[in-house]
Amino acid sequence: MTTRTVTKYVVAALGALVSTVALAADLDVDLVIKDHRFQPAEIRVPAGKKIKLAIDNQDATAEEFESHELNREKVIPANSKASIFIGPLAPGKYPFYGEFHEKTAQGVVIAE
């Protein structure tokens, strides 16, 4: 292999690494769905940070995480886990709900 070829591979590998690191969240937050409710129902996060919501649906039925303010929706099958990335967020309140159990599955992300 020539030095030029090795350099191309190294540059490509570093680019892939930087892309992977850029996707990482600044903060991981656990969110549980149990008895058709989000626990905790209120999540406080720092403004300006990328957040990974690690959602654990412990119910025997699917739930859809829905938030117009966060521009996110995702179905989480029964007894499974999913991740949703949000942010960075400006200071404020960002409500979310479970579309399949909207009367009970309510929550809010508060960015401070």
Percent residues over pLDDT 90 in the chain:
78
Residue-level pLDDT at 5: 54
Is 26-111 a CATH 3.30.450.40 domain?
no
In the predicted model, what is the mean pLDDT of residues 60-81? 98
Beta strands 42-45; 106-111: pairing state: parallel
Percent residues over pLDDT 70 in the chain:
79
Count other Cβ atoms within 10 Å, centred on residue 93. Answer: 11
Residue-level pLDDT at 21: 47
Considering only residues 87 and 21, tell me which one the structure prediction assigns the higher pLDDT.
87
B/e letters for 21-45, b = 16+ CB within 10 Å, e = fewer, are eeeebeeebebbbeeebbeeeebeb
Pairwise CA distance, residues 77 & 63, whole Å: 7
Residue-level pLDDT at 24: 72
